Every structure is written in structure tokens, then in C-alpha cells.
Structure 1
Amino acid sequence: MNADTRPEAGDPEFSGLAERHRRELHVHCYRMLGSFEDAEDTVQETFLRAWRRRETFAGRSTFRAWLYRIATNACLDLLAKRRPEPATGGEVLWLQPYPDRLLDELPAGDADGPETAAVARETIELAYLVALQHLAPRPRAALILRDVLGWPAKEVAELLGDSVNSVNSALQRARAGMREHLPAERQDWTGGEEDAGTRELVRRFTDASVAPDVPALAAMLRDDVLFSMPPTPGRYVGRDAVVHNWIEDGYPDLKGLRAVPTCANRQPAVAYYLWQEGEGAYRPLTIDVLRITGGAITEIFTFHDDQFPRFGLPERLPADGTE
């Protein structure tokens, strides 16, 4: 059965057909919610609702589009209960990273296919996710469906139970809200394709972080660099503020670090381990996800050690350097 053919009620292939769309639905819910864990819960809810309503699928749209409708409504329901108000002040305390190794699970598809849209680099980066979370839920849904997934306004209106005019109005508000939370020029907020210069900067950043060498790190930061550590409150803007925060937190005195390169949200990332004498091993500490523009680090998101498992990172690194 093709992934977009119509399943019959009670079709034994129903679950398998839905499973083919799990990863892209998860990415869609992740954009809506900003949380990897909430997205997992919502995809499960989506499949449960789809199974219960399988007899209502009439074939007026593809099975994939039908699942997206259910998933979007499940996200809106969750937002109404957990986060009725959008983020404010530039911070998204519930933000979680999305490992590239999981984004890679989607088939490549055609250059303009749905899978490609689902993981387009510029709409999965953390800067974009943060901007989305500052939109009210329904305009957020309208923008994701129209601008990311390319749905026609009529179909978005049907999903949201609004008129086309209402959807277009919400979309304009959402686009204006995105402009408020993203730099004016796209190249200022997207890291773009990784090149040799980016890889070298990440290597130097990693070495200086492990040292730790704060002056060397400061030299790699752009003047207007942003730093945050969700879910810990605090958003620091500018090189001086970021470095001052590191010093206040005692980072220059942190010894016994090791680093493992990784990737999240189509951005370079570094996982750090801290030596634990009592265990005789290095244990997970934090993951830095970097945004790099024009040869400088423009944003650092630091996530806690609870994110290590989904990155497939080891639970410990032994003293001899083997894994």
C-alpha cells in the first residue's frame, strides 16, 4: 500500500501506514510545541485519535494530510492546557534540541517533496523555533502549515475552522511576529551549510571550552551574541554579558572536561563530560548548540545532561579516552 493511499476502516495495515509518517509528524509537533518530549506525547495522541477515527477518513485528502490535521489539533489542545500564553522576552524555557541523527531518519525524497519540507534547515534551527514559540498557537499553526509545509489557505482554514480571510490575517500577524524575533536578513540567523571554516571554528571553540580558556572563547563570540540555558531562566545578550555570566557561574574554575562533537537542529553542537573522581569516569554535563554566522559564534544554547540519551551519546567516558 502506498503511503498516501486510502486505508479502509479496520485495515490491518493502518498502523504501519501511520508509522511511516511518525518522524515528520514528530518534527511538525516539535515546531508547534518547541519541546521534543511534548512532541513525542502528541504524536502518540495523534495515532490514538487517528485509530479511533479511522472510519471518518473519507479520502478527500491524502492520508498524510489527514494525520497532519489530527496532529495539529492535538498540539493546539495541549497548548491550551499547558501553555495558553506564548513565550515572551526572547526566552523559551521549555525548548529542547532535536538530534540530527533523528532528523536523518526521514527518507531524502524529492528536492521539493514533503519530507524535505519537514526538515528544511532554516525552519528547524533553534532561532526559528524560539521565534515560533512567541506566536499565539493558532497563528503559529497557520504559519507552519502555510509557510513551512506549503498548504493552501483553504485547507488551513478548514483545519482551523476559520475563513480563508481569517487565516490570511493570522498568517500576516504571524509573519510580522517572526520578523520581530529573527534578525532582518535571513543570513544573519541561519548558520547555512557547514563548511571548513565553520568546522575549524567549532574545533577551536571546543578546545577552548575544555581548557577552559575564557579569553579565547570571548574572541570567537560576535558582539551581539546570545546565550541561554533552558530550562534555567536567563537570557544574556552581548559578549560582555555572556562572559560575565560564565565567570559568575565559576566556569573558569571548571576542570576535568572532555568533549564529543554532535549535531542538533542542523547546527553544530558539542557534548561535554565532567570527570567524576568517585566513579573513575567522565559523566554527562551539558550540550552546547551553536549558531555560527560570518565566522563568529552568534548564539549558544546550553542544554542539561538529560538530553544525552536521545543523542545516542555514551553515559560515561573512561579515563583512558576509549568509549
Structure 2
Amino acid sequence: MNADTRLEELGVSGLGEVDEAAFSGLAERHRRELHVHCYRMLGSFEDAEDTVQETFLRAWRRRETFEGRSTFRAWLYRIATNACLDLLAKCRPEPATGGEVRWLQPYPDRLLDELPAGDADEPETVAVARETIELAYLVAVQHLAPRPRAVLILRDVLGWPAKDVAELLGVSVNSVNSALQRARAGMREHLPAERQDWTGGEGDAGTRELVRRYTDASVATDIDGLAALLRDDVRCSMPPTPGLRVGRDAVVNDWVNDGFEDLGRLRAVQTSVNRQPAVAFYLWRKQEGAYLPLTIDVLRISGGAITEIITFHDDQFPRLGLPERLPADGTE
């Protein structure tokens, strides 16, 4: 049952006749997919949350402008897209550069799972397909200028017709098609060449074994063991800290220089974000008598090796539903 059917059931001809509680009920059923849409546009979980709230506020204030020529869902997407473009114009007038996105934040799989399962061609299912929610895709998207970014997401991810995108952006269909070509070229430039061989699904036995070996070597602070799991051209970053490391030697040297082998006792919890395997690390704190959050590594795996590691700081643990501490295990 979609939101437009609900309008009929409420016995009204337009949103202007709907009270705030009923309007909220209609809008809330789209919250998660709108949040994913804004997240894809912005690359930041927190900014996406704020933008969805702004979307609902704008929709409520402009409810009388909904004329039913499009679906209620499409009307919300129009408002959300424009809210994202407004935020980008104000806060990030320039796209990311240099292959890293300092404002990038992870998206927990448990929240992606809130969307109902459906057929492969249903909008909600397409909106969270692994190929368009993985971090490599997010990084590539953030390198596009805001409007081509919006065109790419609306056309290639959500499947909107060019004329609908043109209406939303207030441009011609030719302009939309031109922007889409530029955006696709930009994505080819920034997406990993081996992306079609990505094997990050949790159900893949080879992936599970590689993640286990990575976890064990990390807890043991075994740099040689970790290095053996990395592809020659591995990429490593830690947003919002600047600095992209490319190549096994560069990554390993960075670990050595940071004193990884002298870090202390670690424990780990395996999880998944952005439909990718991830490992959360906890460091023993004697004063606290517990292991406390340190970092979380999100892995991209292809060809039986780790191709990319994006490390996030401990402030992301609560959002990802990870424990705030782990108890002593008797080996401290």
C-alpha cells in the first residue's frame, strides 16, 4: 500500500486537508529510503539526518503545492534533492578531490535492513543495492559537482526519466543528458577498476576467512601478517583525518611509523556497514578496567585480497550499534 492510496483512504483530495499527525504518518514510511538518498548525495550520515528533517519540514509547509501529478514519494524525493543541493551550495561548494572524502561517514547495515525486502526492480530495493551504497561508490559520487551528482543518482540509481529530473532541476532534458554523461565519466575515473570483482558479501566463504585472518593479525598487532593480506595497490584512509595512502608499502610504513606494534592489547568485534565487512577494535584501558572503542576498519575485498581499508574513529561506534566497552577477558 503506497502513500497515495492512504490519501484516498483518508477521504481527502489533497495534502492541504491532512492534519499534521496524518501527514507525519504518510511521510515517515519513506524516512529510511530518503535518508539513504540524502546520504548518497552528501556522504555524511549526520548531514543526511538533518536534511531529511529539513525535507519533512519543507514538505509540511508546502503541502498545499502537492497536486497529485506525481506520486507522494516522488514529491518527497524532489524536496529532499533540493534540500541536499541547498546544503551543498552552503557548506560544500566544491566536490571532493584527491580520491578521499574527509566528511565520509559509515552507514550501518542494520538500518539498511529496515527497508522492506522486495523484487529487484522495486524502488526501495534498488535504492540500497550494494553497488550504490558501498563506500567506494560514495567516494566516487562525492567527487562529482552537486548537480551532475543529483542527475546521476536520480537517473542511474532511482531510475527517474530524464524529463522528471529536468523538471526538478529547472533545466532542459538535453542539459540533464549532458550532465549524466559527465557524471558517468567522472564515476569511471574514480571508481575502482576491479569493482566488478568485488566480493564483499558476508555470505562469501572466502571473504569470511580473509576477514577472520585480518582480525586475528590486527589483534596480534602482526604487521607482517596484515601485509600479506593486502593487495599491492591497496588504499587506506581515515576520514576526517586527511591523508590517503596508496600501495602496500605506503600503508605498512604508515602503520610502523604510527607505532601500531606497540599499541597495546586489542579485542575486536566483526560487523558490517555499507554492505561491506568491517572490524571494530577496542583497546585495553587499565584505568577503566575494560576495552574501550578505538577504531573501525571497513574493508573492500577483491581477488582474494584486501583492496581498501577505510578507518573511522570511535565516535562512530554508537551509531553502528557497537558495544560501548568490552569486559576484561582474563589475559590482561
Taking structure 1 as the reference length, what is the TM-score of the superposition?
Answer: 0.97
The equivalent position to 1:11 in structure 2, one of 8, 18, 41, is 18
Aligned counterpart, 1:49: 58
Equivalent residues in 2 for 1:84-233, closer than 5 Å = 84-188=93-197, 191=200, 194-233=203-242
The equivalent position to 1:301 in structure 2, one of 310, 313, 324, is 310
Q: What is the one-letter code of the residue matched to 1:301?
A: I
Change (3 A) 1:183 1:38: same
Deviating runs (4+, > 3 A) in structure 1?
4-7, 188-194
Do the aligned partners of 2:291 and 2:326 also contact (CA within 8 Å) in 1?
yes
Q: Percent identity?
A: 85
Instruction: Give the CA deviation at 1:297.
Output: 0.2
Per mean C-alpha deviation after superposition, the further-off stretch among 176-185 and 18-27 is 176-185
Cα distance in 1 for partners of 2:162, 2:153 equals: 12
Cα distance in 2 for partners of 1:172, 1:194 equals: 35
Aligned counterpart, 2:326: 317
Do the aligned partners of 2:35 and 2:49 also contact (CA within 8 Å) in 1?
yes
Change (3 A) 1:193 1:206: closer
The equivalent position to 2:294 in structure 1, one of 257, 260, 285, is 285
Do the aligned partners of 1:110 and 1:116 also contact (CA within 8 Å) in 2?
yes
Instruction: Give the CA deviation at 1:256.
Output: 1.0
Cα distance in 1 for partners of 2:69, 2:236 equals: 46
Do the aligned partners of 2:237 and 2:310 also contact (CA within 8 Å) in 1?
yes
Aligned counterpart, 1:69: 78
Do the aligned partners of 1:257 and 1:275 also contact (CA within 8 Å) in 2?
yes
Change (3 A) 1:190 1:320: closer
Secondary structure of the corresponding residue to residue 78 of structure 1: helix
Cα distance in 1 for partners of 2:226, 2:137 equals: 25
Change (3 A) 1:84 1:289: same
Deviation per residue, 1:169-201 (Å, 9 max, x gap):
000000000010013353245635641110000
Cα distance in 2 for partners of 1:189, 1:4 equals: 39
Cα distance in 2 for partners of 1:118, 1:298 equals: 25
Cα distance in 2 for partners of 1:138, 1:49 equals: 20
Deviation per residue, 1:77-124 (Å, 9 max, x gap):
000000000000111000000000010000012221011111000000
Q: What is the one-letter code of the residue matched to 1:4?
A: D
Aligned counterpart, 2:10: none
Secondary structure of the corresponding residue to residue 297 of structure 1: strand
Unaligned runs of 5+ residues in structure 1 are none
Cα distance in 1 for partners of 2:121, 2:2 equals: 19
Q: How large is the Cα RMSD of the aligned pairs?
A: 1.3
Unaligned runs of 5+ residues in structure 2 are 8-13
Cα distance in 1 for partners of 2:299, 2:85 equals: 30
